[in-house]
C-alpha cells in the first residue's frame, strides 16, 4: 500500500465525486444495515462516511468489514460518491459525500475502550454523540485515546496556531528566538525549585528554571536587544486547581525601551492571539494602578466585565451613633460598599441577612456585612433606625440609590480585610445575579505595584522579583517604612479577572541592584554565591531593558474557552501533580541513588526524633509538629506515662478482645493557663499566605472525592 497516495478524510469535497481515493484512519462509529455497513472513518483532518456494499466490494472485504470495531486502525480504497438526497449529515463537513469501499486493510486492532472517543452522530439530524462524562483521572491515564477526540485534538491544533502566530509576529519585529538552559543554578524566585542531582559532581544539584529571568537579562547585556522564547518552566508549588508543575510561558525581553513600547507590543500581539480563536479584543487596553484596583475592586486581578465598583463612605459616619461603625472608626478602620442596581427583587431579606451577612461575608474574612434597600425614595433595612437622616441621605447620594437597588457595606479596622472581603462579595454576587457577560473580554494593565511586601520578621520581600526597577532610586535600604512606600515599574496583563502574565522594567545599575539586595537582607556573601555571575555582567555596560512573560497554558485556555489548562496541554499532570499515564513521580532503584551518592546525603545526622534512643517528648513534638516549651516538658512526660499505664491496663483486661470504637463529640482542648485569641498573623491575613488554597479565614484542603 502506497501511503504517499493517501488523502485526508476531512479534505474530501463534492468536487472529488468520482475520484478513486486511499484513506487511512480510525473507526469512529459504525452502523450495520444488514447488507450495507456504514462507518465513520476519522483522521486528524476530520471524518468521512465510508460504505461497504456487496455491489462495490467483494464478499471477503464485506466479511472483514463486519468484524471492525471502534478505534480499529484501517486503510481503505474506494470511490467518492454523492449521498442520496435526504441522507446528508449537516454535522459533518463531508456530510454531502461518502466513499464506496472496494479494498480494506486492517492496520491494527483495538481492545475494548475504557471510554468513548466518538463525538459525531452518524444519523442526519440526530444529536451529536457526545462523549459520556468520564472522570478526568481516567482521561489522563489514557491520554493518547483522549487526544483522538476531535475536540481535544482541535485544542492542540489551535494551541499550535497561536504559537505560530507569536513566532511570526515577533520575528517581524526583530525578535530572535533563543533557547536558555534548562539545567541551571538554584536561585530564589518565589517558589521551590525542582532539583536535579549531578552524577559527575556528587552531592551537587542543578535546578530546573522557574523562568529564564537571569539569562534573558544577560542576553540583553550581550547585545541581543530583542529576545523571545516559548520557554518550559518548572515550579514546585503547592497544589492549586489551574496550575501545573511544568508549564509554558512566552518569555521576551528588549533593550533601549520603556513601558510604552511593551504596552503597544503586547496589546497588538494579544489581539492577534485571541483572533485565532475568533475573539475580538478592544484596543487600547485600559490601565489601572495597583492602588486603584485594590481600592475599587478588592483585587489586583480585577474582572472589569461588570461595573460594580467600591464606594468609600468612611467619612459619612465620622459622628455616627451606630455603635459598630463608631468602634471601627475609632480604631482607624474604614467602610466601603457597592450598589447592586435593581437587584432588590433577586435578594430577599432572608438571603441578605442569613446567607450573606451571617455566612458568606464571614467566610470571606469580614466580621459582618451591612445591607440596605432602596424603597419608597429612601433606604430600608433592619438597622436603618440607627442612622441619622443626614447619613442616610448622603448614602443615597454617594451610591446614586434608586428604588430597587441594594447596598452592601463592609466595615473593619483593617483596610485589607475590607477590600478583600468586599472584592470576594463583588465576584460572588456578580456570578449569582448573572451580571457577568459570558462572551465579553475585558483586558486591563495593572501598574505601579508595591516594590516590597512586609515579612513576618519585620523585614521586606520582593513583590515581583529582586530585578524589578523601583520608581525612584534615592531610597535608604535600611528604612523599612520607606521601602514599603516604593512603587515598582512592573505591570500585569489581566483579562476577565485572570492574570495572563506580567513583567517589569529591569534594574540596569549595579549599585541600585546592590541596594535592593541589601533591603532584602542578603549579605555580600549571599549575593556573591547566588548572583555573582549575574552582577559581574553589570560591570560591562548593561543597557536599559525590560520584558514580560505570558502564561501560555492559561492564555490558550482562555482563548478557547476551555474550563481548565489541562484541556490545552497534551500530557498534563493531575491536581496532585501526578501523571496518571506514566505514574510519575515514582520511586527509583537504590542503585541509581547510590550512583548519585544520595543514599546517605545527610551523613550520620539523624532526623529530629528518629534516633532509637531519642527523647520521646522530642519525638512526640516532631511527629505532631507541635512545639513543646521547656516548662511544659514535665507535664507532657507525666501525661505520656499515664497514657502508657492506661494502655497496659486496657491490654491486660481486654486480653484477645478487639477494641471497640465510638465517635465522641468534638471538644476544644486548651493548654492550662492559655486564653483563646486570634493570631496577629491571622488578623493581618499573613497566617495563610503559603496556603495552597484559602476560603475566608480557613485553610482549604483538597477534596477527597471528586
What is the structure's pLDDT at 672? 72
Q: How far apart are CA 449 and CA 55, in angstroms?
A: 74
Contact between 260 and 545 under an 8 Å Cβ cutoff? The reply is no
Q: What is the pLDDT of residue 700?
A: 65
- For the stretch 598-657, pLDDT in tens is 887 665 555 554 554 567 888 888 777 677 888 888 888 999 999 888 888 888 877 777
Taking the CA atoms of 222, 228, 231 and 235 in sequence, report the sign of the dihedral they define: positive
> Are the C-beta atoms of residues 21 and 78 closer than 8 Å to each other?
yes
Listed residue (187, 227, 238, 175) closest to 211, CA to CA: 187
Give the separation between CA 97 and CA 17, rounded to whole angstroms: 8
> Are 94 and 124 in contact, with CB atoms under 8 Å apart?
no
**What are the residue ranges spanned by the domains of the chain?**
3-132, 155-287+510-566, 307-436
pLDDT of residue 666: 73
Q: What are phi and psi of 74, to 5 degrees?
A: -135, 165
Task: Reduce the DSSP state of residue 334 to 3 states and report it.
Answer: strand
Q: What is the pLDDT of residue 617?
A: 85
Q: pLDDT tens digits for 36-59?
A: 999 999 999 999 999 999 999 999
Q: Which CATH superfamily is domain 3-132 in?
A: Nucleic acid-binding proteins (2.40.50.140)
d(CA 691, CA 700): 8
Q: What is the pTM of this model?
A: 0.82
Is-same-fold flag (3-132; 155-287+510-566)? no
- Domain 307-436: which CATH number of 2.90.10.10, 3.30.1360.30, 2.40.30.10, 3.40.50.300: 3.30.1360.30
Contact 412, 418 (CB under 8 A): yes
Residues facing 229 on adjacent strands? 251
Q: What angle do CA 212, 270, 552 make, to 5 degrees?
A: 40
- Right CATH for 155-287+510-566 from 3.30.930.10, 3.40.220.10, 3.30.300.90, 3.40.50.720: 3.30.930.10
Query: How high is the pLDDT of residue 197?
Result: 94
Block means of pLDDT (10 residues each) for the chain, length 706 residues?
91 96 96 91 97 95 95 97 94 95 97 93 62 84 96 97 98 98 81 91 93 95 97 87 91 97 98 97 96 97 96 95 94 96 94 94 94 94 93 96 96 96 97 94 97 90 92 93 95 96 94 92 87 89 96 96 95 92 92 87 56 71 78 88 87 75 71 70 70 65 53
What's residue 706's pLDDT? 42
Task: Give exposure, 465-479, as e/b (b: 16+ Cβ within 10 Å).
Answer: bbbbbbeeeebebee
Q: How far, in Å, CA of 434 to CA of 164, rounded? A: 36
Amino acid at each position: 500500500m502506497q501511503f504517499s497516495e493517501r488523502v485526508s478524510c476531512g479534505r474530501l469535497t463534492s468536487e472529488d465525486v468520482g475520484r478513486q481515493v486511499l484513506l487511512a484512519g480510525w473507526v469512529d462509529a459504525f452502523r450495520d444495515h444488514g447488507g450495507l455497513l456504514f462507518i465513520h472513518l476519522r483522521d486528524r483532518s476530520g471524518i468521512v462516511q465510508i460504505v461497504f456494499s456487496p455491489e462495490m466490494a467483494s464478499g471477503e472485504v464485506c466479511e472483514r468489514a463486519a468484524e471492525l470495531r471502534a478505534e480499529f486502525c484501517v486503510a481503505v480504497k474506494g470511490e467518492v460518491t454523492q449521498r442520496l438526497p435526504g441522507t446528508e449529515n449537516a454535522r459533518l463537513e463531508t456530510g454531502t459525500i461518502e466513499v464506496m469501499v472496494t479494498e480494506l486493510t486492517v492496520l491494527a486492532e483495538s481492545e475494548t475502550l475504557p471510554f468513548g472517543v466518538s463525538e459525531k452522530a452518524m444519523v442526519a439530524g440526530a444529536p451529536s454523540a457526545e462523549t459520556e462524562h468520564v472522570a478526568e483521572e481516567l482521561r489522563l491515564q489514557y491520554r493518547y485515546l483522549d487526544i483522538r477526540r476531535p475536540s481535544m485534538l482541535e485544542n492542540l491544533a489551535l494551541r499550535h496556531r497561536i504559537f505560530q502566530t507569536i513566532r511570526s509576529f515577533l520575528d517581524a519585529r526583530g525578535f530572535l528566538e533563543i533557547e536558555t538552559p534548562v539545567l541551571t543554578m538554584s536561585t530564589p524566585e518565589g517558589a521551590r525549585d525542582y532539583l536535579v542531582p549531578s552524577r559527575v559532581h556528587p552531592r551537587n544539584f542543578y535546578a530546573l528554571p522557574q523562568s529564564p529571568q537571569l539569562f534573558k537579562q544577560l542576553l540583553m547585556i550581550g547585545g541581543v536587544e530583542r529576545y523571545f522564547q516559548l520557554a518550559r518552566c518548572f515550579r514546585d508549588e503547592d497544589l492549586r486547581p489551574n496550575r501545573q508543575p511544568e508549564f509554558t510561558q512566552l518569555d521576551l525581553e528588549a533593550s533601549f525601551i520603556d513601558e510604552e513600547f511593551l504596552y503597544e507590543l503586547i496589546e497588538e500581539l494579544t489581539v492577534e492571539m485571541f483572533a485565532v480563536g475568533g475573539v475580538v479584543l478592544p484596543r487600547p487596553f485600559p490601565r489601572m494602578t495597583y492602588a486603584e484596583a485594590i481600592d475599587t475592586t478588592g483585587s489586583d486581578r480585577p474582572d472589569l466585565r461588570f461595573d460594580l465598583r467600591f464606594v468609600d463612605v468612611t467619612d459619612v459616619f465620622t459622628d455616627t451613633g451606630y455603635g459598630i461603625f463608631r468602634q471601627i472608626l475609632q480604631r482607624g478602620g474604614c467602610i466601603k460598599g457597592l450598589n447592586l442596581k435593581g437587584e432588590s427583587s433577586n435578594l430577599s431579606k432572608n438571603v441578605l441577612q442569613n446567607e450573606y451577612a451571617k455566612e458568606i461575608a464571614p467566610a470571606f474574612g469580614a466580621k459582618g456585612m451591612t445591607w440596605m434597600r432602596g424603597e419608597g425614595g429612601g433606604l430600608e433595612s433592619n438597622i436603618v433606625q440607627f442612622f441619622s437622616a443626614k447619613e442616610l441621605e448622603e448614602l443615597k447620594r454617594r451610591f446614586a440609590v434608586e428604588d430597587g437597588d441594594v447596598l452592601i457595606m463592609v466595615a473593619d479596622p483593617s483596610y485589607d480585610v475590607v477590600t478583600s472581603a468586599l472584592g470576594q462579595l463583588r465576584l460572588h454576587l456578580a456570578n449569582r445575579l448573572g451580571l457577568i457577560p459570558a462572551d465579553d473580554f475585558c483586558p486591563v494593565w495593572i501598574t505601579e505595584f508595591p516594590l516590597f511586601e512586609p515579612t513576618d520578621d519585620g523585614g521586606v520581600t520582593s513583590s515581583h522579583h529582586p530585578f524589578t526597577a523601583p520608581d525612584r532610586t534615592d531610597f535608604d535600604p535600611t528604612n523599612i517604612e520607606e521601602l514599603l512606600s516604593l512603587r515598582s515599574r512592573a505591570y500585569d496583563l489581566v483579562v476577565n479577572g485572570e492574570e495572563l502574565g506580567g513583567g517589569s522594567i529591569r534594574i540596569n545599575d549595579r549599585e541600585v541592584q546592590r541596594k535592593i539586595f541589601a533591603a532584602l537582607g542578603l549579605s555580600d556573601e549571599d549575593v556573591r554565591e547566588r548572583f555573582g555571575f549575574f552582577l559581574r555582567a553589570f560591570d560591562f555596560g548593561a543597557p536599559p531593558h525590560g520584558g514580560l512573560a505570558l502564561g501560555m497554558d492559561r492564555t490558550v485556555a482562555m482563548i478557547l474557552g476551555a474550563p481548565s489548562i489541562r484541556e490545552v496541554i497534551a500530557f498534563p499532570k493531575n491536581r496532585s501533580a501526578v501523571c496518571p499515564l506514566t505514574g510519575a513521580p515514582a520511586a527509583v532503584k537504590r542503585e541509581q541513588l547510590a550512583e548519585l551518592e544520595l543514599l546517605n546525603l545527610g551523613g550520620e545526622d539523624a532526623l529530629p526524633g528518629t534516633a532509637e534512643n531519642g527523647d520521646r517528648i522530642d519525638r512526640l513534638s516532631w511527629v505532631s509538629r507541635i512545639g513543646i516549651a521547656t516548662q511544659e516538658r514535665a507535664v507532657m512526660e507525666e501525661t505520656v506515662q499515664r497514657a502508657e499505664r492506661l494502655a497496659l491496663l486496657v491490654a491486660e483486661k481486654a486480653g484477645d478482645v478487639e477494641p471497640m470504637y465510638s465517635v465522641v463529640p468534638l471538644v476544644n482542648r486548651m493548654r492550662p493557663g492559655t486564653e483563646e485569641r486570634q493570631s496577629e498573623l491571622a488578623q493581618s491575613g499573613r497566617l495563610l499566605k503559603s496556603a495552597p488554597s484559602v476560603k475566608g479565614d480557613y485553610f482549604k484542603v483538597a477534596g477527597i472525592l471528586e
